[in-house]
Amino acid sequence: MTPRPGRAVAGAAVAGAEAAGRRLDEVVAGLAGTSRAQAARWAGDGLVEVDGRPRPKSFRLQGGERLAWSRPPEPAAGAPAAEDRPLAVRYEDDRLLVVAKPAGLVVHPGPGHATGTLVNALLGRAGTSLSAGGGAADRPGIVHRLDKDTSGLLLVAKDDATHQALARDLAAHRVERRYLALVQGRLPADGGTVDAPVGRHPRDRKRMAVVPGGRRAVTHWRVLETFPAVQLVEATLETGRTHQVRVHLASLRHPLVGDRTYGADPTLAARLGVGRPFLHAWRLAFSHPADGHRVDLTEPLPPDLQVPLDRLRA
């Protein structure tokens, strides 16, 4: 296996006869001396190869294959820097806050985005303390994420106990997250559910896709308004996978207007004046970890999405 830039080779081995019929993540975990969950993450990131080709974690071995695995790049040393950047806070108390993230803002530092993120702005906000981010040093306070080009409501924890409680509620589907999306064409019904696993695209690692062996992902959708070439849809997340709404609606052959990554028509987006994937996290509701009272917030569409929608309505 030829290591990719920034990745440290972890190891290589030949699968023995005892590997026949076993899953790739199980076998690599044993060979690498790591957890199966860690091996599954490596496979999901395209870092595990069988006979020179990346394979998903659920790939069944026959025995005798050449296996190779590498580790993801080490995160940059040091905590993110505090930056004086404006933030739109929609709710705040001594345990948590909810911000309205604008499109174009990355949530936390990562490759290519060491500064200028939402986390940098949170750290620079006077008097704001943040949780340890569930152990991820580059994302203090971040309970869940939004794509760079998705706008809307985002939940942030100020202490570790609150972060853990909110993470449990997310995992148990007790945090309500609703999105507004404009999709191409007409969906087959007034509402429905997509229950399809999402993982890295097998050929394009920058994209996600509905793939066998991906992580379970469930999106409920309902049509709010119908126009000649597009429909306004509300999507409710039961799980929270990367690009989930975008991938699931594209899997129905109705990608989000402006979402060229997942097959949207650029001509239609230009005609409607949509310059990014039309996706907005408009509603967030949860039980407060401190006393259980219900916090229910909504955020109107930003102008870059509201103006095209108004044109359609007119």
Domain with CATH 3.30.2350.10 in the chain: 89-172, 176-284+292-313
Answer yes or no: 147 catalytic: yes
pTM, 2 dp: 0.75
Q: Which of 147, 149, 259, 304 is catalytic?
A: 147
Interval 60-119: pLDDT, tens: 999 999 999 887 655 444 678 888 889 999 999 999 999 999 999 999 887 777 788 999
Q: Taking a C-beta distance cutoff of 8 angstroms, is the pair 56, 37 a contact? A: no
List the CATH code of the domain at 8-71.
Answer: 3.10.290.10
pLDDT at 3: 40
Tell me if the domain spanning 176-284+292-313 has CATH number 1.10.287.610: no
Rounded Cα gap, residues 295 and 278, in angstroms: 26
Which one, of 275, 276, 295, lies nearest residue 285 by Cα? 295
Reply yes or no on whether the pLDDT at 246 is more than 90. Answer: yes
Fold that domain 89-172 belongs to in CATH: Pseudouridine synthase (3.30.2350)
Rounded Cα gap, residues 237 and 88, in angstroms: 23
Tell me what the mean pLDDT of segment 187-192 comes to: 96
Strands (E), 162-277: 176-184, 191-195, 198-200, 208-210, 218-226, 230-237
Identify which of 76-90, 195-209, 264-278 has the greatest average pLDDT: 264-278
pLDDT at 231: 98
> Among 46-50, 217-221, 274-278, which is the least confidently predicted range?
46-50
